[in-house]
């Protein structure tokens, strides 16, 4: 397993061969959005797995951002108001995109193209913005980046 560099508050999943790191403030809905994306992926017949929820260890390997899970929480995801549930999981995966909170109003309604987010010192990923409460978050992400899941 890759040695951890930073422990961040996020949720990491894999859809197909694409790593998605949900990052944002506490209470934003990272876990529920990630869970919903995994559920959608299964319905589409795509491979999907949880990497880590709540605590994600980030490291770098050959220029790629690697997300890993603390062994004590492997396969567990907390769904606010429901409790902790088990999911198929992988111990680590390359992350390709950071999924961040979007804004429905004001100047930030349309996020900038090519946005890059710094997750921790030395760890950056292309950003995808997403609102909470959308019924099909994976469909929205796939509309923005058609290679997700492949």
In angstroms, rounded to a whole number, what is the distance separating the alpha carbons of residues 25 and 30? 9
pLDDT surpassing 80 at residue 2: no
Cβ atoms within 10 A of the Cβ of 118, count?
11
Which residue carries 């509309």 as its tokens?
A: 143
DSSP one-letter string for 10-26: EEEEEETTEEEEEE-ST
Q: Is 38 helix (H, G, I), strand (E, B) or coil?
A: helix
From residue 57, alpha-carbon distances to 5, 7, 46 in Å are 7, 4, 25
Contacts with 146 (C-beta within 8 Å, 6 or more apart), sequence order: none
In angstroms, rounded to a whole number, what is the distance separating the alpha carbons of residues 126 and 68? 19
The pLDDT assigned to 27 comes to 86
Closest to 98 measured CA to CA, from 1, 9, 38: 9
Between 103 and 16, whose confidence is greater?
A: 16
For residue 9, what pLDDT band results from cuts at 50, 70 and 90? very high
Q: pLDDT tens, 45-72?
A: 999 999 999 999 999 999 999 999 999 9
For residue 37, what pLDDT band results from cuts at 50, 70 and 90? very high
Q: Where are the beta strands (DSSP E) in the chain?
A: 6-15, 18-23, 48-61, 64-68, 76-79, 83-86, 92-95, 97-101, 116-120, 123-130
Considering the entire predicted model, what is its pTM?
0.91
R_g (Cα) of the chain, nearest Å: 14
Between 121 and 36, whose confidence is greater?
A: 36
Looking at residue 103, the DSSP 8-state letter turns out to be -
């Amino acid at each position: 397993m890759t040695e951890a560099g930073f422990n961040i508050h996020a949720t990491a999943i894999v859809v197909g061969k694409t790593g998605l790191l949900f990052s944002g403030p506490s209470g934003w809905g990272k876990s529920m959005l990630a869970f919903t994306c995994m559920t959608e992926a299964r319905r589409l017949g795509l491979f999907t797995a949880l990497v880590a929820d709540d605590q994600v260890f980030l490291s770098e390997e050959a220029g790629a951002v690697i997300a890993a899970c603390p062994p004590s929480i492997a396969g567990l995801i907390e769904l606010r108001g429901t409790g902790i549930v088990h999911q198929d999981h992988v111990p680590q995966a390359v992350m390709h995109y950071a999924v961040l909170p979007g804004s429905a109003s004001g100047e930030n309604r349309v996020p900038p193209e090519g946005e890059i987010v710094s997750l921790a010192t030395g760890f950056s990923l292309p950003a995808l913005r997403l609102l909470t409460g959308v019924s099909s978050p994976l469909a929205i992400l796939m509309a923005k980046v058609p290679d997700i899941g492949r």
